[in-house]
Every structure is written in structure tokens, then in C-alpha cells.
């Protein structure tokens, strides 16, 4: 017992002397004079200039050795930027002496980093500025918990019990886009428990994306490959409230979206699960992701009506995205789409198939302020292919086909029969002459200011920004119209329509105005070719004057000549 007592006393004295020595070192040693030597050594090892402001060393029985460094900075590669690659306002590091002495482990009880800023740049060649700090390589699998091999006896195992970042900021500048994009994560708060350079660890992040508020939350697992500046993430769960996105910040960061004219409201809950993400200094090596958007809302100047109740399901790897389903409500109808985006990180190519049903056309007519309001329920089938990084490039590359129809429709504000007859300048006042003699059901439609649409169908194709209408048919009680032409997106119209007035109405018209009989077709219907040109919102509508001149004036001349011949038989053989 006496021997044990002596051993305990000796051990206590040893511990006291050790802690006293540590206190004296922390109290009387000025670590600032070692800062230039340490920063020079680090600068040489990473190939970047490293600077640090002041440093301080303190000791306490509760926190152990505490090292504080202020105003830390790492320069960027001059080939990328003259701005700092990394800046840190303050770093506080606490070392657990008990673990070093008893367990031969270098346990850092806590690292606190305040106000760090990182600027990542990808140049036009696709190289990231971080890549020049170390060579690339593969990263070992951390999807399962690994048992690290014992460290050499002379080197303690590094473990950080708690690692935290507050007020962080990461800016990613991508110069492969024109104009370049600049995405910023701000107000980053990160907490890691049991951070290790060998074993995987759990982390949580909160940050603001295109927002002054923290609208992004991330949890998951990570691990390092220090030799290659690599990392692998697993079991990542990301969620963000798109309703907190600032459209000003979004357009400033992604200028290619500005032509889309996104407007409020913008909303929805986006959830992303990443079973695996592997990256190193050379960029993204492997990615598996599943995305889900629910209760989404979007409004654009290009499409004045809101797109609501957006539900998206998509899978992605490091190159391609598979859009499993995209459903939303537009103009009171439902739209379902599926698609595939190839090479979305560089030059995206989009294949899309969509079906729509129950679309209320009156809302679209009013939103675009069209001269005639077509009411009814529209359905459509669309197949499209687009390529490019910007809305302009996407619209310019648009290639696809569409079939659309409207059922139970009425045309308000425009009477097609009146438009057709009023477009004949050789017969001024024709409409006023005949409208009182039209059938009773036609009179009723005129009084109510509507045209009942029995059939309205269209087939069109899009190539290189040009919409070609291959077939468009309109059937009403009084006429049949078919049209072909082009629409140069967004608003240049060039369409020819063939207007056939029904045989019943044609007979009434010819009885009133005999000259209209010169416009009969083989089936006894009055035929009027109509040309539509100009902007989509205010098109110029008129009859084909060359055709009408030939039919009305030439035939009128023939008729007059025949009258002369009838009255003067002697000239018939001349």
C-alpha cells in the first residue's frame, strides 16, 4: 500500500509539473514570432501564398491549450483571380491534453472558424482553381464505417470533437457560361461532431442560397482523402424553401435566366437526397442524386399565367438527369411531362414529352391580350428537344412537334364570318347589306357576340425558333377554315387561311349580292382566302387581294362583255 501511495504521489507531481510547464509556455512564449515561419512552410507546401494576422496561445485546465489565429488568408492562383482564395476572420483551436498524454491521440476538443470566405472559380477550360493546389485522384469508399489502421507510434491520431463554422460564405464562379454565373452560399453555419481525417463523420449545414435568410438545410456524412484533396459524401439530405429565394439575387447570380422574366410568386419545397457524391481538386467524380419538388409555384413574363402545384421527381448522376415525372396545373388544366437532360453540367441537351388536358383557353387569350378570346378546354401532346445554357439558346434550338385541340369552345370578340366578308374591298358595305338576312341561329350568335366552335385542331412543328403550322382546322356553325403558316417566335406571324362559308349561308349571301357567286367553289360554298401577318398580339387580317381581284373583277368584266355580245350578236364571231 505504501508503494502504491508513493506511485500515486509521483504521478500527481508529474501531472502537476506537466500542466505547470504548459501554463508557463502558453503564458510566456510569444507564438507570433513563429507565424511567418509557419505560413512560409505552408505556402511552400500548397503552392499558394498564406498570410496570417495575430496569433495567441493560452492554457486552462478546462479547455486545455487554446490557439487563436486572426485574419488568415490564402491567395488564389494568379491565372484565375487576384482575389484571395480563402479568408478567415478568426480561428480558435483547443487541444485536449488528457487524450494526448493518456491515449496517445491528438484530440482537438474544438475548432471554431468565424467568417470564412471561399471563392471557387472554374475557368473556360473547365479547370477549377482548387485543382492547382494538388494533383487529383480517387477517394476511398466511406459509405460504411471504416476501422482505421493503427497510426505510427510517433504520430498521434487526429480527432476533432467539435468543428464549427459560423457566418461562412462560398462563392462559385463558372466562366464556362456566357455570361458567367456566380452562385453564392451565405450565412453558412456548419457543425461537425468527431471530425476525423481517417473515419467518416456526420455534419449539419444551414445556409442561404439566393437569399439573405438561411433557406437551405443539409445533413449527411463525409470523409476525406487528404492525399488528393478529395472527399466523399454519403446519405446527404438537402431541403430548401424556394419561397425565400430573392429573384434579384437569383437573376444577378444566373444572368442567363433574366430573359425568362421570373416574377413573384416563386415557391415550393425542394428536397434532394444524395446517396453518393465523390469529388476532388479536379472536380466532381461521381454523383447519385434524387430530387423532389412539391407545392411549386412559378410565374414568368414569357408565360403570364402562373404555373402552380408543381410536382417534380428526378434522378441525376454527374452528367445526366432523368426527369421521371413533372406535373403541374396551368390555366386550370393539368400537364404531365417526362424527359431526359444529357450533359447538364456543360452543354445540356433536353428531350421532353408532355401531355396537357383541360387547359382553359380563355385565360391564355386574356393573358396575351389576343384580339379574339377562344374559350374552351384544350388538350395537347408535345414532343420537344432543346440544347444550350441560356433561354435564348434553348429557344433558338427548339425542335419538336405539337398536336392540340379545343373542345366545347366559343370565340368571343371576333366574328369570323364578319371578318371574312368585311375583308372584300371590291364590295364595300357588304356586311351591312347581308347581316339582316342571315339565318336565325347566326343572328343569335351575332347578338351575343360569340361564335360557337364545333372543332378546333392544330398540328405544328418547331425548328430553329420557327413554329410551322402544318394543319389548323376551325369548324363553326357557319363556316369551315383551314390554315397553314409560320410563327417566328416570339411574335412574327405569317399564315394563310382558307375560309369556306357553309352552303346554306352562301345561298343567302348570293341571293342578296349576286356578285358573291363568283366566289363559289365546286361544292357551292363561298371561298375566301385570308392572310394573317404581323405581331401575334395585333395581327393584320385581310383577304388575298390577288385572288379576289381575279374572281370578282375579272369575272365581272367577263359578265359585262357577255351582256354586250348578247345584245349585239353580230360581234360574237369577232
**Distance between CA atoms of 390 and 258, rounded to whole angstroms?**
9
Q: Contact 553/547 with Cβ under 8 angstroms?
A: no
| Res 210 pLDDT > 80 | yes
pLDDT digits (tens, 9 = 90+) for 420-467: 777 777 778 888 888 888 888 888 888 887 888 888 999 999 887 788
Q: What pLDDT, on the 0 to 100 scale, is given for residue 281?
A: 66
Burial-class residue 212 by CB neighbours within 10 Å (0-12, 13-18, 19+). Answer: exposed
Lowest mean pLDDT among 296-300, 505-509, 550-554, 558-562: 558-562
Strands (E), 82-180: 84-96, 105-114, 117-122, 157-174
**Distance between CA atoms of 205 and 194, rounded to whole angstroms?**
15
Q: Please compute the mean of the pLDDT values over residues 253-267 and round it to a whole number.
A: 82
Q: How confident is the model at residue 484 (pLDDT cuts 50, 70, 90)?
A: very high
Residues 6+ apart with CB under 8 A from 517: 510
Q: Please compute the mean of the pLDDT values over residues 52-75 and round it to a whole number.
A: 83
Q: Please compute the mean of the pLDDT values over residues 487-515 and round it to a whole number.
A: 87
Q: What pLDDT, on the 0 to 100 scale, is given for residue 37?
A: 83
**Distance between CA atoms of 312 and 341, rounded to whole angstroms?**
14
| Res 105 pLDDT > 70 | no
**Distance between CA atoms of 293 and 455, rounded to whole angstroms?**
37
Q: Contact 323/351 with Cβ under 8 angstroms?
A: no
Q: How confident is the model at residue 312 (pLDDT cuts 50, 70, 90)?
A: very high
Q: What sign for the dihedral angle of Cα 461, 330, 456, 436?
A: negative
| Res 263 pLDDT > 80 | yes
**Which residue is listed with cell 429557344?**
395
Q: Contact 461/470 with Cβ under 8 angstroms?
A: yes
Q: What pLDDT, on the 0 to 100 scale, is given for residue 555?
A: 56
Using DSSP, how many helices (H) and how many strands (E) does the chain show? 12, 25
Q: What pLDDT, on the 0 to 100 scale, is given for residue 405?
A: 94
Q: Contact 253/182 with Cβ under 8 angstroms?
A: yes
505: its cell numbers:
349561308
Q: Residue 243: which of 265, 211, 267, 262 has the closest Cα?
A: 267
| pTM (two decimals) | 0.74
Q: Contact 353/323 with Cβ under 8 angstroms?
A: no
Q: Contact 169/184 with Cβ under 8 angstroms?
A: yes
Q: What pLDDT, on the 0 to 100 scale, is given for residue 46?
A: 81
**Distance between CA atoms of 176 and 196, rounded to whole angstroms?**
35
**Distance between CA atoms of 98 and 196, rounded to whole angstroms?**
18
Q: Contact 467/489 with Cβ under 8 angstroms?
A: yes
**Distance between CA atoms of 329 and 350, rounded to whole angstroms?**
22
Q: Residue 469: which of 417, 410, 406, 404 has the closest Cα?
A: 404
Q: What pLDDT, on the 0 to 100 scale, is given for residue 146?
A: 42
323: its cell numbers:
426527369
Pairing of strands 157-174, 105-114: parallel
Q: What pLDDT, on the 0 to 100 scale, is given for residue 364?
A: 86
What string of DSSP letters covers 174-188? ETTSSSPEEEEEEEE
pLDDT digits (tens, 9 = 90+) for 519-555: 899 999 999 898 888 887 778 888 888 888 887 765 5
pLDDT digits (tens, 9 = 90+) for 161-201: 899 999 999 999 988 887 888 999 999 999 999 888 888 99
Q: What pLDDT, on the 0 to 100 scale, is given for residue 138?
A: 37
**Distance between CA atoms of 492 and 534, rounded to whole angstroms?**
6
Burial-class residue 264 by CB neighbours within 10 Å (0-12, 13-18, 19+). Answer: exposed
| Res 558 pLDDT > 80 | no
Residues 6+ apart with CB under 8 A from 477: 441, 442, 445, 451, 452, 454, 502
**Distance between CA atoms of 519 and 557, rounded to whole angstroms?**
15
Tell me what the pLDDT averaged over the chain comes to.
81
Vertex 469: Cα angle to 463 and 474 (nearest 5): 160
H-state helical runs in 437-490: 440-448
What string of DSSP letters covers 515-546? GGGGGB-TTS-EEEEEEEEEESSS-EEEE-HH
Q: Residue 151: which of 220, 199, 202, 91 has the closest Cα?
A: 199
Q: Residue 252: which of 173, 169, 167 has the closest Cα?
A: 173
**Distance between CA atoms of 518 and 471, rounded to whole angstroms?**
27
Q: Please compute the mean of the pLDDT values over residues 90-109 and round it to a whole number.
A: 73
Residues 6+ apart with CB under 8 A from 465: 395, 396, 398, 488, 489
Q: Contact 220/203 with Cβ under 8 angstroms?
A: yes
**Distance between CA atoms of 198 and 222, rounded to whole angstroms?**
11
| Residue 371 CB neighbour total at 10 angstroms | 12
Higher pLDDT, 18 or 282: 282
Amino acid at each position: 500500500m505504501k508503494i502504491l501511495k508513493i506511485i500515486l504521489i509521483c504521478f500527481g507531481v508529474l501531472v502537476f509539473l506537466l500542466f505547470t510547464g504548459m501554463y508557463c509556455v502558453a503564458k510566456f512564449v510569444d507564438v507570433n514570432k513563429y507565424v511567418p515561419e509557419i505560413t512560409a512552410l505552408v505556402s511552400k507546401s500548397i503552392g499558394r501564398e498564406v498570410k496570417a494576422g495575430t496569433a495567441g496561445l493560452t492554457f486552462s485546465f478546462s479547455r486545455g491549450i487554446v490557439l487563436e489565429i486572426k485574419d488568415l488568408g490564402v491567395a488564389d492562383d494568379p491565372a484565375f483571380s487576384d482575389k484571395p482564395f480563402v479568408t478567415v476572420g478568426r480561428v480558435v483551436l483547443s487541444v485536449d491534453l488528457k487524450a494526448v498524454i493518456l491515449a496517445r491521440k491528438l484530440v482537438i476538443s474544438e475548432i471554431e472558424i468565424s467568417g470564412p470566405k471561399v471563392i471557387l472559380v472554374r475557368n473556360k477550360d473547365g479547370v477549377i482553381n482548387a485543382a492547382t493546389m494538388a494533383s487529383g485522384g480517387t477517394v476511398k469508399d466511406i459509405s460504411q464505417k471504416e476501422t482505421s489502421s493503427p497510426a505510427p507510434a510517433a504520430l498521434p491520431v487526429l480527432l476533432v470533437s467539435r468543428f464549427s463554422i459560423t457566418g461562412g460564405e462560398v462563392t462559385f464562379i463558372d466562366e464556362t457560361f456566357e455570361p458567367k454565373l456566380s452562385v453564392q452560399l451565405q450565412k453558412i453555419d456548419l457543425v461537425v461532431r468527431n471530425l476525423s481525417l481517417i473515419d467518416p463523420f456526420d455534419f449539419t449545414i444551414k445556409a442561404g442560397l439566393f437569399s439573405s435568410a438561411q433557406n437551405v438545410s443539409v445533413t449527411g456524412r463525409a470523409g476525406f482523402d487528404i492525399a488528393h484533396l478529395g472527399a466523399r459524401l454519403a446519405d446527404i439530405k438537402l431541403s430548401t424553401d424556394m419561397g425565400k429565394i430573392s429573384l434579384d439575387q437569383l437573376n444577378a447570380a444566373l444572368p442567363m435566366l433574366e430573359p425568362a422574366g421570373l416574377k413573384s410568386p416563386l415557391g415550393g419545397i425542394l428536397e434532394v437526397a444524395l446517396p453518393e457524391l465523390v469529388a476532388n481538386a479536379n472536380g466532381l467524380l461521381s454523383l447519385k442524386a434524387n430530387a423532389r419538388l412539391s407545392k411549386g409555384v412559378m410565374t414568368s413574363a414569357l408565360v403570364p399565367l402562373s404555373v402552380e402545384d408543381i410536382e417534380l421527381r428526378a434522378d441525376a448522376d454527374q452528367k445526366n438527369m432523368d426527369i421521371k415525372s413533372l406535373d403541374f396545373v396551368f390555366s386550370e388544366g393539368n400537364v404531365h411531362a417526362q424527359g431526359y437532360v444529357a450533359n447538364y453540367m456543360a452543354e445540356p441537351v433536353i428531350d421532353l414529352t408532355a401531355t396537357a388536358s383541360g387547359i382553359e383557353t380563355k385565360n391564355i387569350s386574356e393573358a396575351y391580350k389576343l384580339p379574339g378570346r377562344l374559350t374552351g378546354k384544350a388538350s395537347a401532346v408535345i414532343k420537344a428537344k432543346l440544347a444550350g445554357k441560356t433561354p435564348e439558346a434553348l429557344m433558338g434550338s427548339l425542335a419538336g412537334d405539337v398536336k392540340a385541340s379545343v373542345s366545347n369552345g366559343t370565340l368571343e370578340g371576333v366574328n369570323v364570318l364578319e371578318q371574312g366578308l368585311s375583308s372584300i374591298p371590291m364590295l364595300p358595305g357588304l356586311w351591312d347589306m347581308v347581316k339582316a338576312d342571315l339565318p336565325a341561329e347566326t343572328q343569335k350568335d351575332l347578338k351575343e357576340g360569340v361564335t360557337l366552335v364545333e372543332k378546333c385542331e392544330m398540328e405544328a412543328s418547331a425548328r430553329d425558333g420557327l413554329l410551322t403550322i402544318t394543319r389548323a382546322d376551325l369548324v363553326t356553325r357557319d363556316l369551315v377554315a383551314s390554315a397553314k403558316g409560320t410563327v417566328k417566335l416570339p411574335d412574327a406571324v405569317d399564315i394563310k387561311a382558307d375560309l369556306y362559308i357553309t352552303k346554306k349561308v352562301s345561298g343567302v349571301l348570293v341571293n342578296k349580292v349576286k356578285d358573291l357567286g363568283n366566289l363559289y367553289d365546286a361544292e357551292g360554298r363561298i371561298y375566301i382566302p385570308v392572310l394573317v401577318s404581323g405581331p401575334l398580339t395585333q395581327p393584320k387580317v385581310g383577304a388575298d387581294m390577288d385572288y379576289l381581284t381575279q374572281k370578282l373583277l375579272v369575272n365581272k368584266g367577263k359578265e359585262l362583255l357577255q351582256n354586250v355580245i348578247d345584245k349585239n350578236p353580230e360581234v360574237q364571231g369577232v
